């Protein structure tokens, strides 16, 4: 796992390319503290910082060259051993044990077709000195980031936005369209646009080629196959195949020349990963216990320590626990926002931040994590609403009534969750609209009149939208920045493309059945029965309301500051006037988003258009 950066400069806009590359490398040194390097040739400059996971020797230094090709690579190609053996049959020889060298040979042999042969996650920049062309690629699902900004004859790219900002030619201007979507919908990372105007993310499953004549070709090399079936085969055969693919995925993601630990939340996803990875590590004869890292909340009704401990007791792993509080959040918030590069929706990301920090303190460089399972297996509460609505529309009333009856006892209750949200869900079972949205109320008057340019209401793409637009891209950004901030590679077994394609092709009744989400997974994978039988879902929970209340005066001061930066978007006087009711959660306007946006603009010195 690493950080990459570089430029393609046909207009000679960079008089000192090496100085810029060194600054960009320094800005993302946390992604690769073990080694660094730069490469300059004609119009192209490439930079790399290395986190050593495979072949820890200096042989893995990047930029790496083979013939006319020079490569900087961030990620892991888990099937590199199999690809290396295949390429040997075509006459290729290898001098390292790295997957980077395999990427170079694969590109030399298959060209851009090598992308579909990789099982893993990656962001790649490859320069061919013979043709003076630059090739950029991002993995199928966008696990690894790659951003770029361009002007005629000039393109600048990097793993993180803060690296791009090292170039003084990149303006720090807020993107109004993205901010409106964020404040009203609570959505981020839904399109190629970022919070910075003029800065773009290379989208998942896409590649980009630049030629010396200035021609740019952007294309999608991978599209997730998806066709939705309401009711279909959902028995042991499907569970067995799911288990086989999951076990293969975990096996590949245990490949490393450093110990592999796991995140453990107490939910189904991380519990299944810990149980399976522990089993495989024991079979491999590992003598050290696997380390797990969890976030817990003392005295909170939603603390999942009991479920975490059930997995620890079953597997015998070496468990470590972080205990975030409102005080630690307040102390770390600016650092967290800087880490993330862009605003985020809630304090739940802080739990992940604390887990990664704890893993770093315990000398763990690779973690397995559960992102992706909810999106491919209908793990979210709204997926149940969608399924019930589909059943009603198909006139399968008995099955719909059964699912509603199972759902009702598990409506959220408690001071940190919203019963109103559940009542809205029940209304949606029957096609009714949810309660009126009050999130425009505290926006600046002119800004509030904007029209949303993005629509996410396409029912034919409901589950696919969660996967590739609404939910997963944001989660992948959060976990990448949090893990890499502490020099940790986070691996995601549920996003092996073979498992994703299989799970997405299963009928809905294989995913939701008798009130259980992820039904096929519960049937297929090993985990404590206490967890297997859970119908509730807490998710990335943090006691946000309590944390905000602990520093209410300080957070309110954000809105009373005379130099409030986000005034183009937010009416700070209205927020301050209603502060007490807002902090009690009376109106769900997404108050934390307002705070996060303002702090982001300050931390990155962002201006408005």
Residue 154, SS3? strand
Which member of 2, 190, 207, 263 is catalytic? 2
Q: Which of 233, 537, 513 is nearest to 373 (CA)?
A: 537
Distance CA 601, CA 178 (A): 14
Contacts for 286 with CB less than 8 Å, ≥ 6 apart: none
Q: Can 2 be counted among the known catalytic residues?
A: yes
Q: Which of 149, 136, 31 is nearest to 480 (CA)?
A: 31
- Could you give the angle at which helices 326-340 and 591-603 cross, rounded to 10 degrees? 50
- β-strands 35-41, 2-9 pairing: unpaired
DSSP structural state of residue 39 = E
CB 3 within 8 A of CB 159: yes
Contacts for 27 with CB less than 8 Å, ≥ 6 apart: 160, 162, 163, 165, 166
From residue 183, alpha-carbon distances to 290, 442, 597, 604, 607 in Å are 41, 10, 9, 19, 17
- Could you give the angle at which helices 397-407 and 419-429 cross, rounded to 10 degrees? 180
Distance CA 426, CA 457 (A): 18
Residues forming beta bridges with residue 75, ordered by sequence position: 122
Residue 133, SS3? strand
CB 267 within 8 A of CB 295: no
Indicate which residues carry an active-site annotation.
2
């Amino acid at each position: 796992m690493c950080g990459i950066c570089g430029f393609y400069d046909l207009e000679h806009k960079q008089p000192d390319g090496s100085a810029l590359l060194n600054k960009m490398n320094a800005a993302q040194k946390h992604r690769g503290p073990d080694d660094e390097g730069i490469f300059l040739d004609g119009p192209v400059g490439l930079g790399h910082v290395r986190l050593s996971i495979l072949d820890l020797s200096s042989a893995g230094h990047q930029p790496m060259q083979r013939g006319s090709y020079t490569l900087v690579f961030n990620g892991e190609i888990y099937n590199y051993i199999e690809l290396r053996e295949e390429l040997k049959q075509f006459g290729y020889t290898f001098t390292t044990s790295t997957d980077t060298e395999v990427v170079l040979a694969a590109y030399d042999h298959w060209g851009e077709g090598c992308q579909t042969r990789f099982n893993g996650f990656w962001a790649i920049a490859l320069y061919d000195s013979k043709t003076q062309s630059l090739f950029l690629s991002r993995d199928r699902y966008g696990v690894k980031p790659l951003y770029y900004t361009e002007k005629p004859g000039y393109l600048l790219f990097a793993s993180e936005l803060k690296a791009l900002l090292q170039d003084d030619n990149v303006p720090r201007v807020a993107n109004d369209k993205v901010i409106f979507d964020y404040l009203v919908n609570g959505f981020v990372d839904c399109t190629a646009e970022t919070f910075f105007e003029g800065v773009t993310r290379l989208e998942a499953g896409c590649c980009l080629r630049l030629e010396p004549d200035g021609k740019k070709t952007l294309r999608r090399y991978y599209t997730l196959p998806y066709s939705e079936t309401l009711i279909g085969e959902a028995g042991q055969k499907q569970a067995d195949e799911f288990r086989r693919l999951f076990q293969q995925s975990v096996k590949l993601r245990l490949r490393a020349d450093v110990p592999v630990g796991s995140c453990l939340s107490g939910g189904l996803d991380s519990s299944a990963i810990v149980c399976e990875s522990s089993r495989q590590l024991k079979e491999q004869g590992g003598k050290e216990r696997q380390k797990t890292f969890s976030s817990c909340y003392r005295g909170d009704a939603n603390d999942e320590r009991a479920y975490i401990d059930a997995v620890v007791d079953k597997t015998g792993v070496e468990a470590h626990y972080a205990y975030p509080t409102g005080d630690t959040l307040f102390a770390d918030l600016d650092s967290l926002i800087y880490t993330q590069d862009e605003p985020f929706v809630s304090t739940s990301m802080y739990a992940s931040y604390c887990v990664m920090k704890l893993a770093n303190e315990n000398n763990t460089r690779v973690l397995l994590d559960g992102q992706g399972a909810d999106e491919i297996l209908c793990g979210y509460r709204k997926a149940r609403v969608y399924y019930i609505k589909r059943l009603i529309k198909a006139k399968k009333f008995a099955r719909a009534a059964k699912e509603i009856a199972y759902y009702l006892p598990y409506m959220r209750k408690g001071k940190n969750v919203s019963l109103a949200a559940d009542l809205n869900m029940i209304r949606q079972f029957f096609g009714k609209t949810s309660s009126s949205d009050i999130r425009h109320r505290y926006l600046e008057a002119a800004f509030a009149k904007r029209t949303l340019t993005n629509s996410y209401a396409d029912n034919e793409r409901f589950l696919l939208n969660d996967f590739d637009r609404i939910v997963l891209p944001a989660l992948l950004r959060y976990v990448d920045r949090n893990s890499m901030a502490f020099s940790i590679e986070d691996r995601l077994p549920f996003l092996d493309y073979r498992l994703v394609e299989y799970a997405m092709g299963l009928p809905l009744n294989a995913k939701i059945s008798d009130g259980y989400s992820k039904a096929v997974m519960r049937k297929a994978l090993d985990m404590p029965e206490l967890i297997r039988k859970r119908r509730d879902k807490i998710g990335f929970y943090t006691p946000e309301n309590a944390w905000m209340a602990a520093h209410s005066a300080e957070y309110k001061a954000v809105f009373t500051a005379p130099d409030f930066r986000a005034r183009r978007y937010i009416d700070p006087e209205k927020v301050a006037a209603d502060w007490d009711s807002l902090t009690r959660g009376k109106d769900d306007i997404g108050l934390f988003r307002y705070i996060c946006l303002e702090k982001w603009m300050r931390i990155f010195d962002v201006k408005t258009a």
